[in-house]
Amino acid sequence: MTTAITSFVVIAVLALTGVYVSWRAGRLDRLHTRLEAARFALDTALIRRSSVALELASSGLLDPATSLLLAGAAHDARAAQPARELPESDLTRALRAVFSQPDFRASLTGLESAQELLTELEGAAHQVFLARKFYNDAVAVTQAARRRWLARVLRLAGNAAWPEFFEIDDSLVPNGDQNAEADIPHLTTSPDHLA
């Protein structure tokens, strides 16, 4: 009788362990799927931002030197694939330089096409900010799940690459700005409305 009970307990423990391992493997698979979706959303947001920056550079609203600077940074950001962090940060710095020019907003006052373009660029920059945060959150959760001892011992992640954070300078607020607590300023409003 005790042998039957012992056998039953061993079988039950093995079954529960198998269910837990299966659940853990399924969770890792779902986390990697979520990570891929977040990376796709981030890539889409980065491409949209560089497209709108190129549109602004070619719009004729900026002086030639500024247009050339912005177009070069946007082109470099689009062309860089494996190591995108530095070119994307350079594009952010170029955008920040454009918007921090003295009387930049005043020079565009009354131009409806300029306001539409700035609104679109503001939306694209905000989307990059959000997409990067969601992606990095997904990376953190996936890394934590992969660090668990069961996932490491049984190699539940398989051959999936180790997820890496995507760190760029994505704030359009100049350093030392009075509105420095905001990551994304409202480009379409005048500074008087921000106070």
**Is residue 75 within 8 Å of residue 54, measured between CB atoms?**
yes
Q: 81: exposed, middle or buried (C-beta count within 10 Å: 0-12, 13-18, 19+)?
A: exposed
The CA distance from 84 to 19, in Å, is 40
Q: 46: exposed, middle or buried (C-beta count within 10 Å: 0-12, 13-18, 19+)?
A: buried
Ranges of the chain whose pLDDT falls below 70? 1, 8, 13-14, 16, 175-195
Amino acid at the residue 119: T
- Which long-range contacts link 189-192 to residues 24+ away (Cβ below 8 Å)? 190/105, 191/105
pLDDT at residue number 134: 97
**Is residue 49 within 8 Å of residue 127, measured between CB atoms?**
yes
pLDDT at residue number 175: 63
> What sign does the dihedral 99-104-106-108 (CA atoms) show?
negative
Residues composing the chain? 195
Largest CA distance in the chain: 91
The CA distance from 195 to 191, in Å, is 7
pLDDT at residue number 181: 47
pLDDT at residue number 191: 43
pLDDT at residue number 192: 43
